[in-house]
Amino acid sequence: MPRKSNLVLWGVILFVAWNALLLLFLWTRPGPDEHGALTNEVIRLAEDAEMELERQKSLLQQIHDYSAVWSRQRKKPATTRVPAAGAALPQAANEDAVKGPTKIPHRPASPALPENAVIPVLVIACDRSTVRRCLDKLIQHRPSKERFPIIVSQDCGHEETARVIAGYGDAVTHIKQPDLADIRVPSDHRKFQGYYKIARHYRWALSQVFRTFKYQAAVVVEDDLEIAPDFFEYFSATFPLLRDDRSLWCVSAWNDNGKEQMVDSKHPEALYRTDFFPGLGWLLLADLWEELEPKWPKAFWDDWMRHPDQRKERACIRPEVSRTMTFGRKGVSHGQFFDQYLKFIKLNDHYVPFTEQDLSYLKKENFERTFLAEVYNAPEVRVEELLGNQRKELGAVRVQYSSRDTFKAFAKALGVMDDLKSGVPRAGYRGIVSFLFRGRRVFLAPRRDWAGYDPTWS
């Protein structure tokens, strides 16, 4: 009986409370004029809440992905792990030091990274579902999942591309750039909005690799690149050079003058130093990101890298025959550059065992001694003689330029890329561009007493 009384009492309390709330709502209900505004406000708040929930969901998913990667890294054998983030890299040997005044930043001495250090491949992706072509080749050719983990960083929020990447399961790590908002740009840069978003994405993705995942090196590729069979062998062999030589700041898989008729396919093992930042599949170290991140540009990051303030007289390694090729006609440049040039780049198809070769010839002093002697001992000829296929008995020859205008005229006549970035020609070293023309080696070169790049040559 007491139990039944309690139920009745609670029923009365609920009845009174319900009616009190109903009366309160009727007394405070807005009039007709206010009703629409209130409804709109409620809808707006609901939409904001939904957006915030989606953002939090995305961040939680990425944290979950990171946790899986960290868990795998903790389980790796000691021989395949890299030092913690921020660890300094070794002082270059005395034979590699640059003589005289130099702008090259100091790289503190520290224990060397192991030869088999973990080097992730960072794939910059957006809205190309054809990223599968890039990922298929990376997975096909990589010798070790543990040593070369693949991190795909996706911008744009493109669902079809996200599904393609997710389809690879734990073969790759998929992270998503969380800020998809438009960027406020100067009125005369509205058509360049895409370049601003690319720079934002690169900064976020590289920070994830070096600060969140704490890797000490990374190879960066974009979602429209296909790699050569010896892509990983190439970077494995050149990694120690980059690590030890302070006069280097990157290794690139790309030759800007890499059209099939302009490279020596019989010697795919040939490598060069270049003052021009090539990109398009490039290796960098964490200490370079420490240097660049605080001043990273809002747009046009690759040309920014080619400015003297960033390059600081450092060089990159590049191949005679490219180890990447691009299949991405679609992009922020609307395909014009692809149709005119990029689609003709020769992708190496002969595996070169670079790790079995002595690459000490690429050290600054060694390379300059042999390369400059080869260039300036080559007989000088006129462009007209080359175009007329004359003096073929001379073998390798040199065409000398003396100004911005003569360089551009000779380059255009011989089929070489004729644009200059802060005075540096594509694939050039000390102003010298090396290529094949009608089967013979040609050096398009400044005078022997070259005094350095003129940034006004652009």
Q: Is 410 within 8 Å of 444 (Cβ atoms)?
A: yes
Cα separation, 432 vs 443, in Å, equals 6
Q: Radius of gyration of the chain from Cα atoms?
A: 29
Active-site entry in 264, 302, 418, 454? 302
User: Counting beta carbons within 10 angstroms of the beta carbon of residue 274, is it exposed (0 to 12), middle (13 to 18) or buried (19 or more)?
Assistant: buried
Residue carrying structure tokens 């009492």: 9
CA 341 to chain CA mean position, Å: 20
Query: 452 in helix, strand or coil?
Result: coil
Task: Indicate the pairing of strand 397-400 with strand 440-445.
Answer: parallel
For residue 18, report the phi and psi dihedrals to the nearest 5 degrees. Answer: -60, -45
126 token code pair: 């957006």
Looking at the DSSP bridge assignments, the partners of residue 397 are 442
Task: Reduce the secondary structure of 425-448 to three states and give it as a string.
Answer: ECCCECCEEEEEECCEEEEEECCC
Residue carrying structure tokens 């702008």: 103
Kind and range of the H or E element at 411? helix 404-414
Cα separation, 286 vs 108, in Å, equals 13
The reply to whether 302 belongs to the active site is yes
First-last CA distance in the chain:
97
Select from 114, 118, 178 the least CA-distant residue to 150. 118
| All residues at 6 or more sequence positions from 68 whose CB lies less than 8 Å from its CB, including other chains | 170, 173
| CA triple 76-227-256, angle to 5 deg | 125
The residue type at 33: D
User: Counting beta carbons within 10 angstroms of the beta carbon of residue 181, is it exposed (0 to 12), middle (13 to 18) or buried (19 or more)?
Assistant: exposed
| CA triple 390-391-397, angle to 5 deg | 110
Residue carrying structure tokens 């890298």: 305
Known catalytic residues? 302
